[in-house]
Structure formats: C-alpha cells, structure tokens
Structure 1
Amino acid sequence: MKPTLEILFWASVIGVVYHHALYPLLLRALARRRPLPAVPAALPADALPPITLVIPAYQEARFIAGKLEDCARLDYPHHLLTVIVACDGCTDGTEEAARAALTSPACAGLNAQIRAFPLNRGKVAVLNDVIGSLKPGIVGLSDVSAHLSPDSLKRAAAHFADPGTGVVAATYALRQAGSAGEARYWAYQTAIKADEAALAAPIGVHGAFYLFRRELFTPLPADTINDDVVLPMRMVAAGARAIYDRGMVAYEEERTERGQEFRRRVRIASGNVQQALRLVALADPRRPGLAFVFLSGKALRALAPVLLVLAFATNLVLAFTGSALYVLAFAGQVAFYGFATAAILAPEALPKPARLAAYFVEGHAAGLVGAFRQVTGRDKGRWARAGESKVELDGEDFTHPLVRVGKRAFDIVVGAIAMMVLIIVFIPVALAIKLTSKGPVFYRQIRVGQSTPTCTHLFYLYKFRTMRVDAEARTGAVWASANDPRVTPIGRFMRKTRIDELPQAINVLKGEMSIVGPRPERPVFFQKLETEIPFYVERTFGLKPGITGLAQVNQGYDASIEDVRSKVSYDHAYAMRLLDPVDWIKTDLWIILRTFTTMVLGKGQ
C-alpha cells in the first residue's frame, strides 16, 4: 500500500513541477536553438488577397459600434475586406446598433454584412453556419471586445503568401488586467505560445483574433468549448503550418472583474480537458516537436488540478506513517494553501508572493471545477458575455463556481464529521427516546428540496424523533410552537441542543441537503406559503436546503406564516452571498459559529 501511495505522490509532484517550471525552461532552451523565421516582406497592393473577417456577437449592443469603427480603421483596402457580424439570437438590439453604426461617417466605405440568426444556438453553431457559407480564401475571426493593430491584416496577408501556411495568429494583450495575477498569466501564456511556435506550432491561438484558410475548415462539434484551440489545431494536425506573429496585436478592451475572471478560467479549463481528448492526433510521435509541446502543455495543463489533489491526498495518508519527509511535505502544503487562502480573502493585505500563490490556487480550483463540468457533461458549448450571468438548465449559474465546489466539499467534510458524532451518540440518544416515549427512534418526513427550471425535488428528511408518534393525529399538519405540548421531555432537550438534527448528515452526504442553506419546508405548507409570500418558491432555486442557515440562526423554528415571511428575506440575502467566494466563506463561518453557540448553550427551541 505504502509503495503505491509513494509512487502516486511523487508522480503527481513531478508532473506539477515539470509542467509549471521545467517545461517552460526546457521549451525556452529548445526554441532558442531554432533560427528565428524571417519576417515576410509586405505584399504590394495588387497582390493582397481578399479577407473575410467574421465577428460572432451575442448581446453586444453596447460595443458593436466601436468594433465596426475599429474594423474601418484597419490599414487594408476596403474593397478587399468583407466584415460579417453574426448575431446569435441577440435580444438587446445588437443588430440594430450594428446597422446604425454602418451609416455613421466613422464606418464610411466599410464593406460589412449583418447576419442575424433568430435563435441563440451558441458560438460554434454560428461559426459553422457562417464559415461554411464562405468561398475558399482567407478568413479571420475576432471578438467584439478586441481592438486590432492597424497593420494586422497586411502582416497576415504576407504570411499567407506561403501556400504551406494554414493559420496565422495574433498575440493578445490586456488594456487593463483584472488583477496582477491575470496580467502575469497572460504575459506567461504569450511567451509560451511564441516558444511553442518557434519549436513546432502554437498549441491553440488567442480567440481575440486569428486567421486561416477557408478550404482547411471542417465543421466543429456542437459542444466545442475552446473553438480557438480546436479549430486551428485540427488544421495543424492535418499538416498545415501555424504562425504566431507577435507584431500582430489584439488588445482586449473589456476589463475582467474578479468573479468574471474565475468563470472564464472555469470555461477555459473545461475546454482544456475536452481538447486534450479531441486533439490526440497532435501527440503523433512522427512529429516529435509538436507532440512534445502538446503533451507537456495543453494535455498536462488539463491534468494538473487533479495531480495537485492527488499529491495532497496521498501526502496526508503518508504523513501518518511517521516519516519525517512526508510530515514536512504535508506541513509545507498546508502552509502554502493557507497562505494562498489568506491572500484570496484579503488580497491587498499580503505581499506579492501571497497574491501569486492565491492566483495559482484559484486557477487550479477553476481547473478542477472545469474538469468536473466537462466530465459530467454540464458544458454544452453555449455562450454569454463574460460580465453577464446566464442561468442554464441546471439552475446553478447564479452561484460562483468556486462557491459551488467549495460548498459541496464543505458539506462532505462536515457531513462526515456529523455522521461520526451520530454514531457515537446514537446508542444513548436511542435509549433515551425509547425509555421516555413509544415509537421509533428516527422520524422521517417528506420535505421540499432544491428547485430547478424544470422540477422541484422532494426528499425524505431524517431526524431523531422529538414528538409523540400521534402528535398530529387530531390537529393535522401544524407548525411547532414554543413549549409545544407534543414534544417529549428528551425531545425538548434535543431541540434546544440541536441534537435531533444530527441524522440529517445522511441527507447531506446523499446530496439532498447542504450544511448551510434555507430550511426545507413540508409540501403540505408549500402551496399556501407560495401563494401568500412573494418570491417564496425562489428561495431554493438552484440551492439545496440546509440543516442550518442565515434565517435559522436569526429566528429559530417557524411558528406561523409571519415567521416564514420574515425568513424569506434572510434566505434571499444568503443566496446573494454565493455570488462571491469571500462573502460565502465569511457568511458560512459566521452561521456555523452561531449554530455551534446555540448547541452548546442550549438556546434552540
């Protein structure tokens, strides 16, 4: 057992260190051995080829005019440039804003078309339709938010004068990074792509702007995520040459906020897993340079978050063997992640190394979320602006991805601890229940769980029985009240200390409940509450009900509709905390502390 764990631990550590530190150094050394390719001479005006620039757009009404004006400023003959704005079911007036922009003096002479698709089907479907309708020639793709250097098209045309060149990619620069970590990340990625291109080919391009030969294009699978990797790298796998020109620059004008940055990295990470599986042809040993950069870069990047988890888990087990080496290694890992977590919670209060550690950890947390979404089939190739939250069919997109993963991990850990406590106290509690009243030890009751756009889940909630078996035989379903005569003497003690809630650890581990969340209601009350309380049903939309929560620690048990009415505001306030990981952590820790205090001091009802 121990040798196997040691192999897994060291293989994981070596894989992570190789990808992040050794591979860039080795790549840089190998790339320097290759002579720099000659910059092709600019083509004379009469030799410039026609170029079609496709701009996919979804809800871009505020920005499309600026993009078209940017296209009009490009240093390329207007009669040789065709711009196609492809609106993918836009409902915010993007099409109208684009048509209005084309009538302005700033866009005078620009040959542009607006292709409006009535239904939003996703970027890949739009690309397949638009590119598929074009004749052979040079096609460019550019994001609405990207500003192109004026000579980009002329530089690209010079590269395409070589018939072996199939893809030409621009470099990517941020006007204003969302964080220092993001700025360093993209600087690192740019250097890596340049070295990969010098050795073999850039493994993927910046989607902000790149060009390719239409005759090399084949339709993409509908669920493709990172089209800017899959589309060009299919061409490279088929034998075409890819050029990475650092003189062609696509400037990202839209500043990425912290939450948006994480979501984008989750999306990229999900695509990394997908493309590692779909582009295995790049690992062909007959093209060793290309295989080296693909396996060491894209493929290992998709695996790195899993390797980090494996290194931590195996190190934890090995530390219990008593080996000083593994104890020291585990202490180092705990210190590093603690250091990074502190920087995530208070980024401005700690020095630069801590912020870099935070960016590293957040990046791989996003990678873990993305990998999970990919292998479980949650990413379906749909798209939206980075700054917009779009609720998908799973009803969870209002929750920050890091919160979603962290919340489930917290549920599993705390649920497992609660289960161990349940096992320890089960015998004395069961005896106390049996000796003081007739009936079963456990009480099982149907409750309303998480809601989605298509259904509302029901589940059986488990508790230690605190009332008489015939408590509602005469009255029917009613709320508990203060000093409720139906509650048994031992039941009163369990309610005050919350011991009766311990069996709900089973619901948590099954994924029916969370440790923290809105309290699940009984179906018999649900319809009435939904009718009388505005937005009542939304309190569990995309959110699992909890054992404890913001409402519970502020009010306690429900005794009337008015109690529930005031609790709904707490439930919605808690849902808003899930938009930001820092708010979520602070809120959940405060709720857990208040709950623990209630249990210890016996302040429950």
Structure 2
Amino acid sequence: MKIAFWFSLFIVFYTFFGYGIVLFVLVKLRRLFKGKRTINRDIHNLPSCTLIIAAYNEADILDKKIKNTLALRYPAGKLHILFVTDGSTDTSPEVVKKYSVIQLMHSPERKGKIHAMHRAMHEVKTNIVIFTDANTFLNEDALVNIARHYSDANVGAVAGEKRVLIEDTADATAGEGFYWKYESALKKWDSELYSVVGAAGELFSVRTSLYQPVPPDTVLDDFMISLHIAEKGYRIIYEPEAYAMETSSANVTEELKRKIRIAAGGIQSVLRLKSLLNPFRNSVLCFQYISHRVLRWTITPFLMIAAFVLSGCIAFITHEKFYMLLFTTQAFFYVLAVLGWIVEKRKLSVKILFIPYYFCVMNYAVIAGIRRYMMGAQSAAWEKAKRK
C-alpha cells in the first residue's frame, strides 16, 4: 500500500511540478554546454504568408477582429488574409465582404473547423500559413515574430503564446490565467531544450509544404497538425513575442465545458500518436511528450485520487504521524477547493481559493473527458465556450 502511495504521489508531483524543475535544469545544462539558442531578428527577409481565420457566427466581434488583423505588421505584398465563415447563420460573411483586401470563403453547410481549415489550405500558395481564432486579438508584431523562425530549415511549426485577460473583479476563472502563465514558462523551456509538444489553435503556424490533413473526427486539430510535423523530425518553436489575447471563460462551468472537450481530444491524440511514445525514434521529444502531455491526459488525475485514499488508509491503519500529516495536507487542499466552489457559486472573490479550485476542476475535466471519448460522445465540431 505504501509503495502504491509513493508511486502515485511521485507521478502527481512530477506531472505538475517535477517536470518543470527537471526541464529547467536540462535547459541550464544545455546552455552551459551548447550556449543559448539564437533567435533570428531579421524581419526584412520573411517568407510569404497566409493568415487563416476560421469564424463561426462571430459577427458581433468580426469588425474588431478584422481591424486588428489589418493593423498587423508584415512586408508589403507578402501577406494574404483569408477568412472562412462556413456554416455561419449570422451576418459573418457580410461583415467580411466589406473589406476588399480580405479573401472570404463561405459555405452554408457546417462541417466543422477542421473541414474549413482543410478547404482553406487548398487556396494557400505561400511558404507558410498562420492560423488564429476569430475571438482572439494579436499583437502588432505577431506575424513577423513567428515568420522569422522559418529561416531555420529544421523548424516546421511555430506556436504563439496565449494570454488570458483577467478582470479586476475576476472569479475563480482567474486560475485560468495563472495556469497559462505556468504553461508559457514550460513551453519556453520545452522549445529551448528541443521542441514544444503541440500548438494551441489561438495562434500557430506551419510550413505549408508540411501541412498534413487530419481525420474529420479529430477533436484537437491544432495539436495533431503540429505534432504530425514533429513526427517528421522538425522542431516546433514557441514564440512568446507573438501572442493572442482573449478574455477568460464567462464562468467555471464554461471553462469546464472547454476543458472536458480538450481532455477528450487529448486521449484521442495519445491513442493516435503512438509513434511519439517510442523513445528510440526521438528520445528527447518522447520524454517531453510523455512528461508534458501524456501523463496529464491519462493516469495523473486518477493517481491523485489514489494518493489521497491510500494515504488515508495508511494513516488510519498504522497511526503513523507522517502519513497522518500527508493525508491531512491533501484533505486541507481539497477543502480549499470545495470552499472555492462555494464562493464561486455565490459570486464572491476570495483569490486564495481560485488556484486549488481551478486545479481540481482541470483534473476532473480529464476524467470526464476520457469517459466522454470512450463512450463516443465527443463531437469534433467546436461548441464555443462563453467568454467575458
């Protein structure tokens, strides 16, 4: 029982904290022996680029998104902008049509974001393609900061940074902002060590020649598309100076809906990307992939429960003070999470409770997502989470 407990506790700690520590040390060692990776600062010899924005019923925000897009810096004549509004039943196509410098693709039939992306790719004639969401806003130099990395022939994809805008009166979704800050730090180190393990759809880019369509039932298309490129031996770079800004989820219920979908897509990705689990093919990428993604999306949430139950059993059977302390500490953490749930329901703001509550919600979402995927109940069509 003690062996099972320590194994469970070790995996939980390693997944959320240990990997970050190990990664930090490995990056420091790499800098010591090989020096810090250089970044191309030349923005005068950038590749041709197509910016693709898939928008489904986003008429209320499209004008603002288009103005943000047209304000982005990129060499004249090298940028093509393409909006895909497939399936939209509002005035999204009409909004885009007002701007003659933008190409519109629209089909009344809704087949999902993946189909829209694949359809748009047939129109791409540039060296690279950048994808971003309709409800996110990019910094002025986002495109040039992404494109400059393609001067390195080993780079196959570039992931931008997601930034969550948190209001001063934020509720428990403030945990989302904290989570993304921690994730950003891990991605910076992942990228410097070797490669980021997957890109987020808010802002990512690929070499057009390396783009590989994914099956229409794929839940996490951005993640799968980028990792198919990593499978081929190319690096995925993380570029924090190219960022997409969006508001946090409207409430924890909306964030949970989004997390469950991501978790369902996560277990689907793990089952379909079996080659990345082979350490003899690319040992560093395999180490990063398992440590940063696979453990989170598979066994770790279950081991959290196991560690709590086992420590309780050991404490009450043996009466050892050390195990009593371990059990009590875990129980206290979960009590804080429950209190976070209570104050969130009452629309109060007690920030100290945000992180344990969000952490537990995130791990519950993994269990719920695995169950949903195994039951075949997860659709590839994106159901938008409401945002503030």
Q: Normalising to structure 1: TM-score of the pair?
A: 0.58
Deviations 1:198-248 (A, max 9, x none): 111111123211111111111112221222211111101111122112222
SS at 1:168's partner residue? strand
The change in CA–CA distance for 1:223 and 1:316 in structure 2 (over 3 A counts) is farther
Q: Which residue of 2 aligns with 1:574?
A: none
- Per the alignment, residue 339 of structure 2 pairs with 342
Residue 375 of structure 1 pairs with residue 380 of structure 2: no
Query: CA separation of 1:305/1:194 partners in 2, compared to 1, >3 Å: closer, same or farther?
Result: same
Unaligned runs of 5+ in 1: 104-109, 389-605
Partner of 2:214: 220
1:479-490 → structure 2 map (5 Å cutoff): none
**Could you report, residue by residue, the CA deviation over 1:535-560 in whole angstroms, capped at 9, with x for unpaired residues?**
xxxxxxxxxxxxxxxxxxxxxxxxxx
* Partner Cα distance (2:290, 2:97) in 1: 45
5 Å-filtered alignment, 1:486-497, equals none
The structure 2 residue matched to 1:291, chosen from 282, 286, 299, is 286
Contact 1:270/1:373 (<8 A) preserved: yes
Is the 8 Å Cα contact of residues 75 and 151 (structure 1) preserved in structure 2? yes
Taking a change above 3 Å as real, the CA distance of residues 311 and 255 of structure 1, as seen in their structure-2 partners, is closer
What CA distance in whole angstroms lies between the structure 2 residues aligned with 1:332 and 1:157?
47
Going from structure 1 to structure 2, the CA distance change for 1:323 and 1:132 (only over 3 Å counts) comes to: farther
| Structure 1 residue 194, shift from structure 2 partner | 0.4
Q: Residues 97-496 of structure 1: matches in 2 within 5 Å?
A: 97-100=95-98, 102=99, 110=101, 112-135=102-125, 137-176=127-166, 179-252=173-246, 254-258=247-251, 259-286=253-280, 287-302=282-297, 303-318=299-314, 321-324=317-320, 326=323, 328-347=325-344, 352-387=351-386
1:53 to partner: Cα distance: 0.9
Shift of 1:269: 1.9
How much does 1:319 deviate?
Answer: 5.1
Which amino acid is 1:246 matched to?
P
CA distance in 2, matches of 1:132, 1:318: 60
Q: Give the secondary-structure state (helix, strand or coil) at the position aligned to 1:170.
A: strand
* Matched-pair contact (CA < 8 Å) for 2:165–2:177: no
| 1:328 CA drift (Å) | 4.8
| Cα deviation digits, residues 294-337 of structure 1 (max 9, x gap) | 11110111132121123234445545534435555444433322
**CA shift in 2, pair 1:314/1:78, >3 Å:** same
The answer to whether 1:48 aligns with 2:46 is: yes
Distance 1:40 1:262 in 2: 39
Contact 1:132 1:219 in 2 (8 A): no
Contact in 2 for aligned 1:139/1:213 (Cα 8 Å): yes
Amino acid in the other structure paired with 1:242? I
Query: Contact 1:166/1:242 (CA < 8 Å) preserved in 2?
Result: yes
Contact 1:343 1:350 in 2 (8 A): no
Name which one, 1 or 2, has greater alpha-carbon Rg. 1
Counterpart-to-counterpart distance in 2, 1:227 and 1:87: 17
Letter in 2 for 1:23: Y
In the alignment, is the contact (CA less than 8 A) between 1:52 and 1:84 conserved in 2? yes
Percent identity at matched positions? Answer: 29
SS at structure 2 position matched to 1:211: strand
Q: Residues of 2 paired with 1:157 and 1:244: CA distance?
A: 12
Work out the CA distance in 2 between the residues paired with 1:66 and 1:355.
Answer: 31
Report the Cα distance in structure 1 between the residues aligned to 2:7 and 2:286, rounded to whole angstroms. 20
**What residue identity is the alignment partner of 1:280?**
K
1:336–1:49 distance in 2 versus 1, CA, 3 Å: closer
User: How big is the shift at 1:136?
Assistant: 6.0
C-alpha RMSD over aligned residues: 2.3
CA contact (8 A) 1:56 1:142 kept: yes
Give the counterpart letter for 2:41 in structure 1: A
Please give the alpha-carbon distance, in whole angstroms, between the structure 2 residues aligned to 1:186 and 1:168: 18
AA of the residue aligned to 2:233: G
Relative contact order higher in (CA < 8 Å, ≥ 6 apart) = 2
Please state whether the residue corresponding to 1:13 is helix, strand or coil: helix
For residues 27 and 80 of structure 1, the distance between their equivalents in structure 2, rounded to whole angstroms, comes to 37
Q: Which moved more, 1:272-281 or 1:119-128?
A: 272-281
Deviations 1:413-447 (A, max 9, x none): xxxxxxxxxxxxxxxxxxxxxxxxxxxxxxxxxxx
Shift of 1:149: 1.8
**Counterpart Cα distance in 2 of 1:94 and 1:340:** 40
**Aligned match of 2:58:** 60
Q: Any conservation in 2 of the 1:56–1:123 contact (CA below 8 Å)?
A: yes
Q: 2:37: which partner in 1?
A: 37
Contact 2:218–2:265 (Cα < 8 Å) also in 1? yes
SS at match of 1:282: helix
Native 8 Å contact 1:136 1:213 kept in 2 = no
Q: Distance in 2 between matches of 1:115 and 1:344?
A: 43
C-alpha distance in 1 between matches for 2:205 and 2:329: 46
Contact 1:59 1:385 in 2 (8 A): no
Report the Cα distance in structure 1 between the residues aligned to 2:18 and 2:46, rounded to whole angstroms.
Answer: 42
TM-score normalised per structure 2: 0.89
Deviates more, 1:130-139 or 1:299-308: 130-139
Matched residue pairs, number? 373
| Stretches of structure 2 lacking an aligned partner (at least 5 in a row) | none
The separation in 1 between residues aligned to 2:309 and 2:217, in whole angstroms, is 33
Structure 2 residue matching 1:9: 3-state secondary structure: helix
